[in-house]
Amino acid sequence: MRYLLLFLLLFLTRATFSQNNFNIGGCYGFGLTVPSSNTIITTSFGKLPMKGSLQQHLGAIAQYIINTKFGIEVGIIPSSQTYVEKLNDTFLRNINLYTPIKLVYRIHSNRNPLIHYNFLAGASLHWTNTFYGTHNSGGNGEEVYVGMDPGYTIMVPCIDAEVRIGKQLIRGGRLEFGLGYQISIKGRYQAAIRSQTSSSISSTINQLTLTMYCFVFK
């Protein structure tokens, strides 16, 4: 997978010198886990359903449009998300590196040549590093974190789909707003908590995302 990403990036870099269809930029957005309680910690005392907070992601994107309609897009997007147990005693913190490869199909608006719509589909790898711990309430309602033991690091392949609306800026560059969906290919995945041999985590990537993209080259 790493060699494929390197090949694509080299191909896109070479294309910038012969075409004006290469785009680089950044993205920022949020993700919502569906359902929010899709992660479970299994311990010797039983199963603890975890509820996920709003995920945040910020990263870099490279896109090459082969002609006016078709293209390919790659990215490196770190993200973070916190899961808490119902009694608010146990928490997980996911630090995730998301590497998508998507095919792009673009349609230009007939009414406004500066407006376009992108339909994207592809695959991605999520390099997930999860920290496990407990916390309790201190004075004045302040949270005091206890533990924060390393949980697991795992690679999760996913399928991605996204719909975007974009606008070409008059002074150069482009803005796009996208609604996406990600789901892990193998469904649920499991991993043991390193510091607790009798405990394990069962989860899945299944989320909606809302992302803003800003490209500096058109």
DSSP string, the chain: -HHHHHHHHHHHHHHTTT-S-EEEEEEEEEEEESSTT-EEEEETTEEEEEEE--EEEEEEEEEEESSSSEEEEEEEEEEEEEEEETTS-EEEEEEEEEEEEEEEEEEE-SS-TTEEEEEEEEEEEEEEEEEEEEEEE-GGG-EEEEEEEEEEEEEEEEEEEEEEEEEE-TTS-EEEEEEEEEEETTS-EEEE-TT-TT-EEEE--EEEEEEEEEES--
Nearest to 200 by CA among 50, 67, 99: 50
Residue 17: predicted pLDDT: 39
Alpha-carbon distances, residue 136 vs 42, 80, 90, 99, 141 (angstroms): 20, 21, 9, 35, 9
Residue 160: predicted pLDDT: 96
Residue-by-residue pLDDT tens, the chain, 218 positions: 554 444 444 544 444 434 457 889 999 999 988 765 667 777 666 676 777 778 899 999 999 988 888 999 999 999 988 877 766 567 777 788 999 999 999 999 988 888 999 999 999 988 887 776 766 555 554 454 445 556 567 788 999 999 999 998 877 788 999 999 999 888 777 766 665 556 667 777 888 999 999 998 65
What long-range pairs does 85-89 form, CB within 8 A, spacing at least 24? 85/41, 85/48, 85/49, 85/50, 85/51, 86/48, 86/49, 86/51, 88/135, 89/134, 89/135, 89/136
Q: What is the pLDDT of residues 57-76, one digit of tens each?
A: 999 999 998 888 899 999 99
Is residue 97 a contact partner of residue 126, using CB atoms and an 8 Å limit? yes
The Cα diameter of the chain in Å comes to 63
How far apart are the C-alpha atoms of 184 and 159, rounded to whole Å?
6
Return the structure tokens found at 74.
């790659």
Residue 88: predicted pLDDT: 57
Residue 12: predicted pLDDT: 46
**Fold annotation for 27-215:** Porin (2.40.160)
